[in-house]
Amino acid sequence: MEFLRSENTHFSREWELNIRGKLFTISTPQVMGIVNCTPDSFYASSQSSTIEKQQDLIDLHVKNGATWLDIGGYSSRPGAEHISEKAEIERIKPAVSYALERYPEIKISVDTFQSEVANYVLEQGVHLINDISGGLINSEIFSIVAKHQVPYVLMHMRGTPQTMAQLNTYDNLLKEVMVELGTQLEKARTAGVKDLIIDPGFGFAKNSTQNLDLFSYLEAFQLFDCPILVGISRKSLIYKTLGIDAEDSLNGTSVLNTLALDKGANILRVHDVKEAVEVVKLREKIKGRNYQF
């Protein structure tokens, strides 16, 4: 008897990203380590508001196998306080400088939706802009990314971090998220952005039930024909579902990261790099093995 194993085909191809004229290949799932330079976060242990803590976290992420570092200075938790572009730059400047100088082999992303911040970090040599608003808050960011010839993470969100929690009413969740992402994707391409990565935006303008529903539909985002980034690390869809808190959500994160890879995710954005790298390694060892009986 022969048992056939169906395989997700999303990794049957290699993704090539143009980073300042040089091709960067994604041939297997990659891990992006979060470097939170804010004084607050939904996950308190991820806060690294001092330069020393930021450098230690960057060192740890690289040691544990991160391909990407995602540095952010604007808290995007629901209801977070707005800060100016100047203040955001001051928060992230030391971490960006340290990561670029210490680890030239690592790809550096900056998590921002403010165009002045994006322009500053790209002039420093950053390789990727990760925009939680998908260009909705400041569409000028598209032309800035295009000018520097770097990839861009286009995430689904409604409103701002201050208002998004009240903007989670959908008649058809998947359809509306896909349409809204598609609209912004076309705007980005029209502005000259060549290499886009899609992020469904778990936790942004979606409640816990909607997050779980959207996660179950993750395969649908392959229709955009772009790499898919999934950021569910320690989020409420895990801890509210399990009746725990973010501090105890590592196991749940690993479970959903594994499922995300099976559903076509190409990049896992996480607080805990070591565990995510282990998920990727084990899955890569197991997938594709066929047994003959």
pLDDT digit string (tens) for 178-231? 999 999 999 999 999 999 999 999 999 999 999 999 999 999 999 999 999 999
Domains in the chain, CATH or no CATH each: 9-286 (3.20.20.20)
Whether 240 is catalytic is: no
Is residue 48 pLDDT above 70, yes or no? no
User: Residues with Cβ < 8 Å from 253, sequence gap 6 or more?
Assistant: 232, 233, 234, 238, 270, 271, 272, 275, 276
Mean pLDDT of 130-159: 97
Listed in sequence order, the residues at least 6 apart from 47 whose beta carbon sits closer than 8 Å to its beta carbon are 36, 38, 39, 40, 41, 53
Using the predicted structure, report yes or no on whether residue 6 has a pLDDT greater than 70.
no
Distance separating alpha carbons of residues 171 and 180, to the nearest angstrom: 13
Q: Which of 53, 235, 263, 274 is catalytic?
A: 235
pLDDT of residue 38: 86
**pLDDT confidence of residue 195:** 98
Beta strands at 152-155 and 196-199: parallel, antiparallel or unpaired: parallel
Question: Residue 104 has which token pair?
Answer: 């030239």
Confidence of residue 70 (pLDDT cuts 50, 70, 90): very high
Find where tokens 């008649």 sit.
171
Q: Give the pLDDT band of residue 293 (cuts 50, 70, 90).
A: low
CA atoms within 13 Å, Cβ hemisphere of 126 = 29
Per-residue pLDDT tens for 84-112? 999 999 999 999 999 999 999 999 999 99
Phi first, then psi, for residue 191 (nearest 5°) are: -75, -10
Model confidence over 242-290: pLDDT tens digits? 999 999 999 999 999 999 999 999 999 999 999 999 999 999 998 766 6
DSSP secondary structure, the chain, as one string: -B------GGGSS-EEEEETTEEEEE-S-EEEEEEE-SS--SSGGGB--SHHHHHHHHHHHHHTT-SEEEEE-S--STTPPP--HHHHHHHHHHHHHHHHHH-TTSEEEEE---HHHHHHHHHHT--EEEETTTTSS-THHHHHHHHHT--EEEE---S-TTTGGG----SSHHHHHHHHHHHHHHHHHHTT---EEEE--TTSS--HHHHHHHHHTGGGGGGG-S-BEE--TT-HHHHHHHT--GGG-HHHHHHHHHHHHHTT--EEEES-HHHHHHHHHHHHHHTT---B-
What does the pLDDT read at residue 7? 47
Separation between Cα atoms, residue 243 and residue 256, nearest integer Å: 16
Confidence at residue 254, expressed as pLDDT on a 0 to 100 scale: 98
Any idea of the CA torsion for 4, 228, 203, 96, to the nearest 10 degrees?
Answer: 140
221 or 1: whose pLDDT is higher?
A: 221
Backbone angles phi, psi at 78, to 5 degrees: -55, 130
Please tell me the distance from the alpha carbon of residue 270 to that of residue 263, in angstroms, as a whole number.
17
pLDDT at residue 5 greater than cutoff 60 = no
- Selected catalytic residue, list 269, 281, 283, 287: 269
What residues pair up with 74 in beta bridges, in sequence order? none
Q: What average pLDDT does this structure show over 30-48?
A: 75
Give percent above pLDDT 90 in the chain.
Answer: 83
Residue 12: pLDDT band (50, 70, 90) is: low
Residue 41 pLDDT greater than 70, yes or no: no
Q: How confident is the model at residue 39 (pLDDT cuts 50, 70, 90)?
A: confident
Task: Provide the mean pLDDT of the chain.
Answer: 91
Respond yes or no: is residue 269 known to be catalytic.
yes
Is residue 4 very low, low, confident or very high in pLDDT (cuts 50, 70, 90)?
very low
185 vs 14, which has greater pLDDT? 185
**pLDDT at residue 3 is higher than 50:** no
Q: In Å, what is the CA distance from 184 to each residue of 4, 168, 172, 197? A: 40, 18, 18, 12
